[in-house]
Amino acid sequence: MIRAFEAFAITDVGKEWIASRAQEGFSQKFVHEKGGINIKEAGDMSAVVDYNFSVGGDTKNGIGLTEYNTEGSKLEVNITFDSMSAERSPTDVFSFTQLSDAVFYETNFHGFLAEETYMTGETDPSQLSSGDHNPSDLNKTPYGDKAFSYYLYLVNRPTTKTMKGYEKYSKRTGNSTSTYSWWWREYMGQFGGK
């Protein structure tokens, strides 16, 4: 799971997301990637939202589950990844890509939509829009806007190409919409028509 999060964190979209939500002085050295996260100033969203990540717990049969708490002075977004995420060492291309995409998806789809609703004044967690898995919800989020380019980044990373299972998958790693659709249908199981 650490490798999957770091793959997200080194992208432009990951850096932007972290910088806008991190507290002043937040730093984290990477384990699998070079460098780390070093935030000097509090991000513009840090006064509005806190994100908490955990691995293991009830994710209602999904890879990840995003839930909300509004009892404090800001929105708390709690993202839980299934216990298999802790046991899976994402050394095969499918696990790695699926887990890294789950980080991007939970933060920039569900989390983003909840932030938008919360900033309108809604404080009832059950009323925070977390989006349905349909094109109209997807297309109004950073995830929907950048999922294709993120997917291409993941499968074309030099370290991804050395992972188990890549040879089988390599026939389908071109820069095409059909490749992307195939990936979602076969391995992600979400948004079949996207």
pLDDT one-digit tens code per residue, 15-29: 999 999 999 999 999
So what's the pLDDT on residue 173?
52
The whole-angstrom distance between residue 160's C-alpha and the CA centroid of its chain comes to 17
The model carries a pTM of 0.83
CA distances from 90 to 25, 50, 68, 173 (A): 30, 27, 27, 19
